[in-house]
């Protein structure tokens, strides 16, 4: 990923791009890396939950019942950037 960013930066500099354009490209790559990290965590969490549910299902089938439950709480983190002077709400 870093080599792609470096390549794009070199191309932009060769074409005479200003510092603002280079900054925007770097910001976009940073956001892409954050998104990819989030997706990886989601997949890992889904696998862990699926494995846990499979284990519970097997136990339920063998023992004809369980005295356990799974509670899932999902917190949506919604942090969106605001422009200067923009009102919240």
pLDDT tier for residue 70 given thresholds of 50, 70 and 90: confident
Q: Specify the pTM.
A: 0.58
Q: How much is the pLDDT for 2? A: 79
Query: How many H helices and E strands in the chain?
Result: 2, 0
Selected residue with higher pLDDT from 68 and 88: 68
Condensed to tens digits (0 to 9), the pLDDT of residues 25-42 reads: 888 888 988 999 999 999
b/e sequence 51-70, b meaning 16+ C-beta within 10 Å: eeeeeeeeeeeeeeeeeeee
Show me where the domains of the chain are located: 2-63
CA 57, distance to chain mean position in Å, is 29
Residue 63 to residues 23, 49, 56, 67, Cα–Cα distance (Å): 60, 21, 10, 10
């Amino acid at each position: 990923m870093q080599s792609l960013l470096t390549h794009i930066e070199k191309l932009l500099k060769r074409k005479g791009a200003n510092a603002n354009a280079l900054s925007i490209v770097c910001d976009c790559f940073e956001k892409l890396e954050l998104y990819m990290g989030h997706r990886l965590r989601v997949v890992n969490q889904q696998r862990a939950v699926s494995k846990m549910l499979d284990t519970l299902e097997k136990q339920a089938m063998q023992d004809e019942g369980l005295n356990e439950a799974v509670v899932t709480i999902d917190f949506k983190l919604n942090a969106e950037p605001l422009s200067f002077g923009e009102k919240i709400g």
